[in-house]
């Protein structure tokens, strides 16, 4: 269980570690389109291109440091009896981070008509199961809701790309 807790705590940081180089790549493509793409030189060429390698390294380390600190704070609070020894004392709404992600990444129309309703259904079913005292079902509903959300994303991306392409095509004079 401890291993699972560590994985759960570090997953956002690991996701960030994977996505982080792509921010360099995008910025590098913008600043120096002629720069050849080399996977092995993410933290050299691309940090150099962005201009401030120390700042970029800080950005990389901030989420790692944050989760390490949170683990430590959690451990101290457990030692003093402020938290139960297993499980979380209070959980947020399921899908709230996905909601923020969808609002940031997708267009307003896609967010409001496709992705937000999927998350609203997830939360509605989740709280319904919790209020009925069915914790296991709530966990299952949450997992199923995440799968449904990403299915919507996968199904929506071609639609959005096609719509953008058509819009672009007809905008050319």
Partner 1 sequence: MVPRLSPKEAEILRLLIANGDMYGLELVAASPLLKAGTIYVTLGRMADKGFVESRTEKVDGAPGLPRRLFKVTGAGVRMMKAQAAAAMAFGEVLA
Closest CA to 77 of 65, 85, 68: 85
Nearer to partner 1, 79 or 93 (CB): 93
Nearer to partner 1, 65 or 120 (CB): 120
**Stretch in the footprint of partner 1 (CB under 8 A) among 31-39, 60-68, 83-91, 146-154:** 146-154
**Stretch in the footprint of partner 1 (CB under 8 A) among 12-20, 45-53, 65-73, 155-163:** 155-163
Q: Which residues contact 92 (CB under 8 A, 6 or more apart)?
A: none
- Residue 138 engages partner 1 in binding (rule: CB under 8 A): no
- Residues of the chain by 3-state class (helix, strand, coil), percent to 5: 80, 0, 20
Q: Minimal distance in Å, beta carbon 173 to partner 1?
A: 22
Nearer to partner 1, 93 or 134 (CB): 93
| Window 103-132: residues binding partner 1 (CB under 8 A) | 109-110, 113-121, 123-127
Nearer to partner 1, 64 or 130 (CB): 130
Q: Minimal distance in Å, beta carbon 153 to partner 1?
A: 9
126: phi then psi, degrees, rounded to nearest 5: -65, -50
Q: What is the CA radius of gyration of the chain?
A: 21
SS3 annotation, 60-104: HHHHHHHHHHHHHHHHHHHHCCCCCCCCCCCCCCCCHHHHHHHHH
DSSP single-letter state for residue 115: I
Residues that bind partner 1 (CB under 8 A): 93, 99, 109-110, 113-121, 123-127, 147-148, 151-152, 155-156, 159
């Amino acid at each position: 269980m401890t291993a699972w807790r560590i994985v759960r705590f570090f997953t956002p940081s690991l996701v960030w570690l994977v996505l982080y180089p792509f921010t360099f790549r995008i910025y590098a493509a913008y600043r120096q389109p002629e720069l050849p793409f080399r996977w092995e030189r993410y933290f050299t060429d691309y940090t150099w291109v962005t201009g401030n390698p120390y700042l970029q390294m800080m950005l990389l380390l901030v989420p790692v440091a944050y989760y390490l600190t949170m683990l430590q704070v959690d451990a101290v609070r457990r030692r003093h009896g402020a938290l139960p020894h297993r499980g979380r004392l209070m959980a947020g709404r399921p899908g709230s981070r996905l909601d923020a992600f969808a609002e940031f990444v997708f267009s307003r129309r896609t967010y409001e008509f496709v992705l937000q309703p999927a998350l609203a259904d997830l939360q509605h079913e989740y709280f319904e199961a919790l209020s009925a005292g069915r914790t296991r079902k709530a966990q299952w509903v949450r997992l199923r809701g995440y799968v449904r959300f990403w299915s919507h994303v996968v199904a929506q991306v071609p639609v959005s790309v096609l719509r953008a392409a058509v819009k672009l095509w007809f905008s050319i004079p």
